[in-house]
Amino acid sequence: MAVCVKHAARAMVELNVRGSIVCTASIAASAAGEMNTDYFITKHGVLGLMRSASKQLGVHGIRVNSVSPSAVGTPLLCRYLGKEVEEVEQTYEPYTRLKGVVLKTKHVADAVLFLASPDSELITGHDLAVDAGYHLVY
């Protein structure tokens, strides 16, 4: 991720492009875990990268933010857990505070589009949790 941010930032600065860089973190970036320590460490690193880059690139008009979803039924997570999408959603739904909705990839994509759009022109250095309140119990 650091290499992607570095190269995107370098190109944007050289071409004098104001814009947005959006990193993908996780709600694990704001928590601690009893297992999978390497995953938690890397997601904490994403937040540090995003916050530092937002400070460094703001002078160039470049916003840097991150999106932190909870568990999303992606093919990668489904393979890791050995479950189908619906099973993954059912596994994590009881831990959310916002009932009646299930986190889908579209929700994460919509958050990224918002942070990349002019609608968020005054937002930088922010980590947007997209998790139906899962982080409140995590």
3-state SS string over the chain?
CHHHHHHHHHHHHHCCCCEEEEEECCHHHHCCCCCCHHHHHHHHHHHHHHHHHHHHHHHHCEEEEEEEECCCCCHHHHHHHCCCHHHHHHHHHHHCCCCCCCCCHHHHHHHHHHHHCHHHCCCCCCEEEECCCHHHCC
Residues 83-96 have a mean pLDDT of 86
Give the Cβ contact number of residue 104 at 10 Å: 15
Catalytically active residues are 39
- Per-residue confidence (pLDDT) for residue 36, from 0 to 100: 83
Confidence of residue 93 (pLDDT cuts 50, 70, 90): confident
Q: Give yes or no for residue 137 having a pLDDT over 70.
A: no
Q: Give yes or no for residue 64 having a pLDDT over 70.
A: yes
Q: Could you tell me which residues come within 8 angstroms of residue 101 by beta carbon, excluding any fewer than 6 positions away?
A: 132
Are the beta carbons of 105 and 61 closer than 8 angstroms?
A: no
